[in-house]
Amino acid sequence: MKGLSILLFLHLFFSSITCFVHRDQFPPDFLFGTSTSSFQIEGAYLEGNKSLSNWDVFSHIPGKIEDGSNADVADNHYHLYMEDIELMHSLGVNSYRFSISWSRILPRGRFGEINSVGIEFYNNLIDALLLKGIQPFVTLSHYDIPQELEDRYGAWLSSQIQEDFGYYAEVCFKAFGDRVKYWSTFNEPNIMVSVGYLSGTFPPARCSKPFGDCLSGDSEIEPYIAAHYVILCHATAVDIYRKRYQVKQGGSIGIVMSTSWYEPLRNIPTDRSAAQRYLAFDIAWFLDPIIYGDYPPEMREILGSRLPTFSSEDRTKLQNKLDFIGINHYSSLYVKDCMFFPCQSNASEGDRFAMSTGERDGIPIGTPTAMTGLYVVPHGMEKIVMYMMERYNNTPMFVTENGYPQQSSPDVPDLLNDRQRVEYLRSYLASLNVAMRQGADVRGYFIWSIIDNFEWLNGYSLRFGLYYVDYDTLKRSPKLSARWYKRFLEGSKISKDLSGGRPHS
């Protein structure tokens, strides 16, 4: 009996330690912020001389977006940005990650004029953030690109894109770099090329059977070509920044990857190496070339000549081409080997000779959420950060996205009382802290997202915001999670309190 109570006490003690998280556990200059992207929040899709982006065009095709919506208005952040900055300021964040809409700055890419109205919008946004003590953390490309570049030469499938991307990046460094100290070239290029050219579910909707159902494309080749040019575009932008701006402006530049954690399904060597292979195909695909100058051996072995090659000039250009790694992390999955034991992987996983699943013996890896494949697995945060630390020599890292989806519903009080999100964020932050205590050089953490917004193929049916958005009135209302983040950032000793009363207004 006594032994049992000791065990129970120890269990409670350790679980409270792992769940407990406090602002003081992070360095004073740690960036705490929220994240968004231009297409998902701005709206004003044809205002201020902006041109159509690939996503404007795609989201207007009937049947593409689950709830039949588009982002013509979205959160109308283009007009309401001052209000949104006020929300961030009231939370007490010291940074804000957002992306610039390429179509606002260069509506016709390098084939037209620089749009001064677009420059002015971001100047106003940046100045207003800085006035409130909020550091801008800026992404150049978050899935959207001027449609004209797609129509003219096939965007990421053409080497011409390097000239366009370099030009766009330089316009931004020149216009905003005196005030922006954190730049990311790309958001989740690994997702962008997979869904754009393998499954074809995102624009430009290119793929071949059995990987997807598209009008044209080649799922076995094009994702690798697009990735190749994205990597070279990244290197071009970093070169420009380092040679002409970095010393004068004193900022840093990196890239943001989508990173899930993968656990072996069974504790056997083949599943363990399948999980490693999965990570290489997801992450090292981009980061190995950018840091070490070439594709990971795990991919080369399987893909052979299907993987493009870097010239020796490219390789020299690539080495050490970033100052930080951005980690978007939400969830984890199990991985099963299909190399030695044939198994039923999805078409899109074919090249990996592995399949992922959210369940082991019918038991989910973590509590499922409203988004398919997104489970609550806090320890995945520690694991993925440690993986990055080990594979990339502890390059400085920022967790550029972490967040929790809710299914939209008419029950607004329920959506405002987002206890599951609070629990998710707190447990993931605690896990991040465990990695940092093991030496991981993590310098910031951003919640996706400050406000509910346009969630790509899911439209407005999923809500990630700390603030609820009423899409009829565009009114923003704080959820319990906003209140929790504010208290956490204040260093409140009661950050473990879940009850928290009603969200503040």
* Binding site residues, ligand NOJ, CB under 6 A: 37, 40, 187-188, 328, 401, 448, 455, 464
H-run or E-run covering 325: strand 324-328
Minimum CB distance to ligand NOJ smaller for 88 or for 307: 88
Taking a C-beta distance cutoff of 8 angstroms, is the pair 118, 44 a contact?
no
Minimum CB distance to ligand NOJ smaller for 119 or for 325: 325
Q: Closest separation between CB of residue 7 and ligand NOJ, Å?
A: 39
User: CB under 8 Å to 436, separation ≥6 — which residues?
Assistant: 26, 385, 442
Q: Closest separation between CB of residue 37 and ligand NOJ, Å?
A: 5
Minimum CB distance to ligand NOJ smaller for 115 or for 187: 187
User: CB under 8 Å to 12, separation ≥6 — which residues?
Assistant: none
Q: What's phi and psi for 335, nearest 5 deg?
A: -130, 135
Q: Closest separation between CB of residue 219 and ligand NOJ, Å?
A: 22
Q: Closest separation between CB of residue 98 and ligand NOJ, Å?
A: 11
Structure token pair of residue 128: 């207003």
With H, G, I as helix, E, B as strand and everything else as coil, classify residue 425: helix
Minimum CB distance to ligand NOJ smaller for 58 or for 310: 58
With H, G, I as helix, E, B as strand and everything else as coil, classify residue 183: strand
Q: Closest separation between CB of residue 400 and ligand NOJ, Å?
A: 8
With H, G, I as helix, E, B as strand and everything else as coil, classify residue 447: strand
Count helices and strands (H / E) in the chain: 19, 19
Q: Closest separation between CB of residue 456 and ligand NOJ, Å?
A: 6
Q: Closest separation between CB of residue 295 and ligand NOJ, Å?
A: 23
State the Cα angle at 501 between 497 and 502, rounded to 5°: 135
With H, G, I as helix, E, B as strand and everything else as coil, classify residue 334: strand
Q: Closest separation between CB of residue 139 and ligand NOJ, Å?
A: 9
Minimum CB distance to ligand NOJ smaller for 349 or for 401: 401
Residue 163's Cβ-count burial label (10 Å; 0-12, 13-18, 19+) is middle
Minimum CB distance to ligand NOJ smaller for 328 or for 481: 328
Radius of gyration of the chain (CA): 22
Distance, in Å, from the CA atom of 131 to the CA atom of 395, rounded to the nearest integer, reads 30
Task: Please state, in angstroms and as integers, the Cα–Cα distance from residue 119 to each residue in 171, 174, 175, 313, 501, following that order.
Answer: 9, 11, 7, 34, 43
Distance, in Å, from the CA atom of 217 to the CA atom of 233, rounded to the nearest integer, reads 22
Taking a C-beta distance cutoff of 8 angstroms, is the pair 485, 491 a contact?
no
Minimum CB distance to ligand NOJ smaller for 330 or for 353: 330
Minimum CB distance to ligand NOJ smaller for 40 or for 348: 40
Taking a C-beta distance cutoff of 8 angstroms, is the pair 135, 182 a contact?
yes
Structure token pair of residue 111: 């084939």
DSSP per-residue letters across 5-34: HHHHHHHHHHHHHHH---GGGS-TT-EEEE
Q: Closest separation between CB of residue 187 and ligand NOJ, Å?
A: 5
Minimum CB distance to ligand NOJ smaller for 64 or for 336: 64
DSSP β-ladder status, 135-141 and 95-99:
parallel
Minimum CB distance to ligand NOJ smaller for 183 or for 310: 183
Q: Closest separation between CB of residue 238 and ligand NOJ, Å?
A: 20
Active site residues: 188, 401
Long-range Cβ pairs for the range 216-219 (8 Å, 24+): 219/347, 219/348
First to last CA, the chain: 49
Is the preceding peptide bond at 449 cis, omega within 30 degrees of 0? yes
